Amino acid sequence: MESFIRTLPKVELHVHIEGTLEPELMFQLAQRNQIALPYDSVEAARKAYQFTDLQSFLDVYYLGAQVLQTEQDFYDLTWAYLLRCQQDHVMHTEIFFDPQTHTQRGVAFQTVMAGIIRALADGEQKLEISSRLILCFLRHLSEEAAFETLAQAMSYQEYIVGVGLDSSEKGHPPEKFRRVFEQALHAGFLTVAHAGEEGPASNIRDAISMLRVSRIDHGVQCSQDPELVQELADIQMPLTVCPLSNIKLRVFERMADHNLVDLLRHGLCVTINSDDPAYFGGYMTDNFLAVAHAFAVTKEEMAAFSAHAIRASFLPDEEKAKLQQRLDHYLQVQLHPIL
């Protein structure tokens, strides 16, 4: 199973590019930009990555992001992640970025975009990894700030496929951003939203009805509402679940307590993703392995997570078909070799 998972073709739909900032790169960028960090070593930084909930993580996350200052910084960050995708056999990735995290610090929206776009183009050309970019609004900030960020994104619609909603879920329900999402949809953006991670199952319902999302990011609290679970299965609403993140942030105490395999077996379109892998201890392969080690799953079930992610991606149908062919070929070789 382990070798099968390591080389399994994968698609990632839920990763925050700022959350891929490894301590080693953080220190390099801090030195480059002459920024003082509260850690005296890489090891000390890693020791700080012990979280009790989502907010305790976000405090460290925003601190690390301050080292990102220039176009080259954002290029280096994104390129390092893409190299990890290549290592993990990720064929396609749909990346979240948080422009407000940077514009609030005086870093121009254009600077952020230029570095990320250049790296993604190189990833397509040099690594054959396709990608899409999703702008996330920080839900702890105001509706007005989200509208301002959406206005900045309008001239980048060639590169930004959709908008999302992340950061602190508690106290910031989907309803807060209903008007922003209406405008984004009118402008032609697709929509997704973090919902049902720490917040209640009702946030999932509201994200679907109020924000008209194409995917729910996390969504694991749907199990609070059996009727919602059945509805999600019926409409095949994708859930971009992040197993190691959920354990690190105490959404579940142990991987064996996680509900994603149960949701998969109930017919939901569940996918596996890494969220903020530098902080949560694992990229795509690590997350797949953690699930396989905790549950008595078959290779076909593990491959279903990839098939679901292909189907739930924002790629054109012909591109989805090509990725599915690659997955099918892999499964044919692995599961039905010619004797």
**Residues 206-221: tens digit of each pLDDT:** 999 999 999 999 999 9
Residue 66 has pLDDT above 60, yes or no: yes
Q: What ranges in 105-194 are assigned the alpha helix state H?
A: 109-122, 143-153, 178-187
Q: What structural domains and CATH numbers belong to the chain?
A: 2-20+75-335 (3.20.20.140)
Residues 6+ apart with CB under 8 A from 305: 264, 270, 271, 272, 288
Mean pLDDT of 103-115: 96
Please write the tens of the pLDDT for every residue from 74-89: 999 999 999 999 999 9
Please write the tens of the pLDDT for every residue from 307-320: 999 999 999 999 99
Q: How far is CA 302 from CA 6, 130, 271, in A?
A: 11, 22, 10
Please write the tens of the pLDDT for every residue from 9-56: 999 999 999 999 998 999 999 999 999 888 888 888 888 787 878 788
- C-alpha 71/C-alpha 258 separation (Å) is 39
Within 10 angstroms of residue 106's Cβ, the number of other Cβ atoms is 8
Q: Which two tokens mark 21?
A: 């900032």
Average of per-residue pLDDT values in the chain? 95
The pTM (predicted TM-score) of the whole model is 0.95
Q: Is 59 annotated as a binding residue?
A: no
Q: Is 275 annotated as a binding residue?
A: yes
Q: Is 293 annotated as a binding residue?
A: no
Residue 338 has pLDDT above 80, yes or no: no
Residues 6+ apart with CB under 8 A from 149: 99, 100, 103, 109, 135, 137
- C-alpha 219/C-alpha 259 separation (Å) is 10
Say whether 197 is catalytic.
yes
For 304, the 3-state DSSP assignment is: helix
Residue 58 has pLDDT above 70, yes or no: yes
Residue 7 has pLDDT above 60, yes or no: yes
Q: Is 258 annotated as a binding residue?
A: no
Quick one: pLDDT at residue 88?
Answer: 98
Q: Judge contact between 13 and 312, C-beta under 8 A.
A: yes
The CA-based diameter of the chain, rounded to the nearest angstrom, is 63
Within 10 angstroms of residue 237's Cβ, the number of other Cβ atoms is 21
Please write the tens of the pLDDT for every residue from 149-193: 999 999 999 999 999 999 888 889 999 999 999 999 999 999 999
pLDDT band at residue 71 under the 50/70/90 scheme: very high
Residue 202 has pLDDT above 60, yes or no: yes
Nearest CA among 243, 244, 189, 236 for reference residue 216: 236
- C-alpha 271/C-alpha 241 separation (Å) is 6
Residue 220 DSSP symbol: G
Bridge partners for 97 per DSSP: 135
Q: Judge contact between 136 and 163, C-beta under 8 A.
A: yes
Q: Is 14 annotated as a binding residue?
A: yes
Residue of 18, 94, 197, 198 marked catalytic:
197
Please write the tens of the pLDDT for every residue from 229-276: 999 999 999 999 999 999 999 999 999 999 999 999 999 999 999 999
Residue 339 has pLDDT above 60, yes or no: no
